């Protein structure tokens, strides 16, 4: 399984909480527990942050949301059955709602393709 490409973080204050390698470790360790939707949402945000046209303010929102996803300090601990990743997903969905105009169809396809590589295609699940 290949890792996510690294990205330069425009705002150094986020480097302690977010990095591509930390995100990839989180995805690999918790993809099946967090679920496909949560994982694909994280990938969608990540790929949006790597797009050259994404403005700095959007990247700041993305790094904050992904930093929360990576962090062990959550409103609801990730190990809590059923509810563990609901707060992470809510934070990431709020970030997506804030910057939806910067998420292109190509970025959506890239995140979907990576999720399919991790989970298999949706058709395989049915």
pLDDT of residue 84: 78
pLDDT of residue 15: 59
Q: Does the structure show a pLDDT above 70 at 13?
A: no
pTM above threshold 0.85: no
pLDDT of residue 73: 74
73-89 mean pLDDT: 75
Mean residue pLDDT of the chain comes to 82
Q: What is the DSSP string of the chain?
A: -PPPPP---SSGGGTTT--HHHHHHHHHHHHHHH-HHHHHHHHHHHHHHHSTT--HHHHHHHHHHHHHHH-S--SS-TTSTTTTTHHHHHHHHHHHHHHGGG--HHHHHHHHHHHHHHH--HHHH-
Domain coordinates in residue numbering, the chain: 38-125
pLDDT digits (tens, 9 = 90+) for 22-53: 888 888 877 778 888 999 999 999 999 999 99
């Amino acid at each position: 399984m290949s890792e996510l490409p690294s990205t330069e973080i425009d705002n150094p204050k986020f480097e302690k909480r977010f990095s591509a390698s930390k995100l990839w470790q989180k995805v690999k360790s918790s993809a099946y527990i967090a679920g496909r939707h949560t994982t694909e949402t994280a990938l969608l945000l990540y790929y949006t942050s790597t797009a050259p046209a994404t403005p700095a303010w959007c990247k700041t929102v993305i790094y904050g949301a992904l930093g929360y996803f990576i962090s062990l300090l959550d409103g609801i601990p990730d190990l809590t059955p059923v509810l563990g990743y609901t707060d992470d997903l809510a934070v990431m969905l709020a970030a997506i709602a804030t910057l939806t105009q910067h998420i292109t169809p190509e970025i959506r396809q890239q995140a979907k393709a990576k999720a399919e590589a991790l989970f298999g295609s949706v058709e395989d699940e049915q």
